Amino acid sequence: MNAIKYELIKVCKQSGARLGKLHTPHGTIDTPVFMPVGTQATIKSMTPEELKQMDAKIILSNTYHLYLRPGHHLVEKAGGLHKFMNWDRAILTDSGGFQVFSLGDLRKITEEGVTFRSHLDGSKHFLSPEKVMEIENALGADIIMSFDECTPYPADYNYTKNSMERTLRWAERGKNAHKKTDVQALFGIVQGGMYKDLRYESAMRTQEIDFPGYSIGGLSVGESKEMMRDILEHTAPLLPTDKPRYLMGVGSPDDLIDGVIRGIDMFDCVLPTRIARNGTAMTSQGKVVVRNANYAESFEPLDSHCNCYTCQNYSRAYIRHLVKTNEILGARLITTHNLHFLINLMKQIREAIAEDRLLDFRKEFFESYGYQL
Ligand SMILES: [Zn+2]
């Protein structure tokens, strides 16, 4: 018995995008969906109640960070991640692979796993597919990822092939070590860098191992948007239609729309929360860097088309003042708006799929947002 079930509701006749429902042990999620990222078991500065008010149905947390602090045994002792952080809706944990390879110092990769030093205190650690399953089983998220290497960009063909092959072997080991298949769904991750034949091989062989859902990793890692869309367009249709498809680490508004059009159901990204803390809002008219002097006397909301708490009650001038004086409320108000903006964008995308007009919606959105078509 799988922990999750994906239900394909319909395919947009205009764009080919998928409308679906993802049933999890902690509620049903309408897809396509954007998942806010709570690295340290918190979406920075937001309470779970606030996230529910903006209709977040699933959030992501990071295995690597929680393993280092406070430790997965402590989270397990607290009753699991849902209880520990007071979030009773769905959670997804990543594999830690991306952070081990990007943050871990002096890492050494062998067939067995990766030895690295913590970016926090230099302490030595070892993560293997089995260890990552132990950690993710203890954290208890509804959806968990198998340990992979996110192939860096650029990487030559041989490196990418060897890395992809190892990720496949690790996926099989992770699946064998997964102890809670009835309440946690383990996703396989398709790698293969920017090489279409490797993407094909990875997609096919990951499916042979057989997972309840599939992720596409190793995109949005420094390549051009054209290249990303080309690889995505090649890879997504290789995945089964009756399982959810998750594009990891992608979350700018244009990438969300273009990812959905290429058949993706799930996205996550730190972008909306990270830029909020730097004083930048995503709006229907494009980015607003509220810190800029030209907003000093702007008594308009961040986005006049937005009905979030921030836009109903506060002006750009006030938020700019908070950001300039490093007041916590400034980051909170922009985070509230940015998450609401992306969650609402996904809702508009789902409505457009239901009405077979996603390409029309894309054109309208991009004209307003200021992207070239
Ligand atoms: Zn707003």
Q: What per-residue confidence (pLDDT) applies to 104?
A: 75
Checking if the pLDDT of 180 tops 70, the result is yes
Among residues 255, 258, 268, 303, the one annotated as catalytic is: 268
Token digits for 335?
């985070």
Domain co-membership, 218 together with 83: yes
- How many percent of the chain have pLDDT more than 90? 94
Q: What per-residue confidence (pLDDT) applies to 103?
A: 82
Mean pLDDT of 70-91: 98
Phi, psi of 9 (to 5 degrees): -85, -50
Domain co-membership, 62 together with 179: yes
Checking if the pLDDT of 223 tops 80, the result is yes
The CATH code of the domain that includes 186 is 3.20.20.105
- Residue list for the binding site for substrate: 94-98, 148, 191, 218
Q: Is the peptide bond before 154 cis (omega within 30 degrees of 0)?
A: yes
| Domain final residue, candidates 268, 288, 318 | 268
Mean pLDDT score of the chain = 96
Among residues 94, 258, 265, 303, the one annotated as catalytic is: 94
Domain co-membership, 170 together with 282: no
- Residue list for the binding site for Zn(2+): 306, 308, 311, 337
Dist. CA 119–CA 125, nearest whole Å: 11
121 labelled catalytic = no
Mean pLDDT of 340-356: 98
Going by pLDDT thresholds of 50, 70 and 90, the confidence category of residue 81 is: very high
CA of 21 to the centre of ligand 1 (A): 26
CA of 203 to the centre of ligand 1 (A): 39
Describe the strand order of the beta sheet including 124-127 as a list of residue ranges.
Answer: 105-109, 114-117, 124-127
CA of 310 to the centre of ligand 1 (A): 5
CA of 345 to the centre of ligand 1 (A): 12
- Structural domain boundaries enclosing 181: 5-268
**AA letter at 67:** Y
pLDDT (tens digit per residue) in 17-29:
999 999 999 999 9
Q: Which residues of 244-275 are buried (b: 16+ CB within 10 A; e: fewer)?
A: bbbbbbbbbbbbbbbbbbbbbbbbbbbbbbbb
CA of 23 to the centre of ligand 1 (A): 29
- Residue list for the binding site: 94-98, 148, 191, 218, 306, 308, 311, 337
Q: Coil, helix or strand for 55?
A: coil
Q: Which residues of 204-224 are buried (b: 16+ CB within 10 A; e: fewer)?
A: ebbbebebbbbbbbbbbbebe
CA of 261 to the centre of ligand 1 (A): 25
Q: What per-residue confidence (pLDDT) applies to 373?
A: 47
Domain co-membership, 77 together with 202: yes
Q: Give, as residue ranges, everything with CB less than 5 Å from ion ligand 1.
A: 306, 308, 310-311, 337
Checking if the pLDDT of 306 tops 50, the result is yes
Q: Are 239 and 207 in contact (CB under 8 A)?
A: yes
Domain co-membership, 184 together with 241: yes
Dist. CA 26–CA 4, nearest whole Å: 10
Domain co-membership, 290 together with 233: no
Q: How many domains does the chain have?
A: 2
CA of 314 to the centre of ligand 1 (A): 9
Checking if the pLDDT of 372 tops 60, the result is no
268 labelled catalytic = yes
Token digits for 218?
């190793």
Domain co-membership, 25 together with 166: yes
pLDDT (tens digit per residue) in 39-53:
999 999 999 999 999
| Domain final residue, candidates 234, 268, 302 | 268
Domain co-membership, 185 together with 82: yes
Whole-structure pTM over 0.95, yes or no? Answer: yes
| Domain final residue, candidates 268, 296, 311 | 268
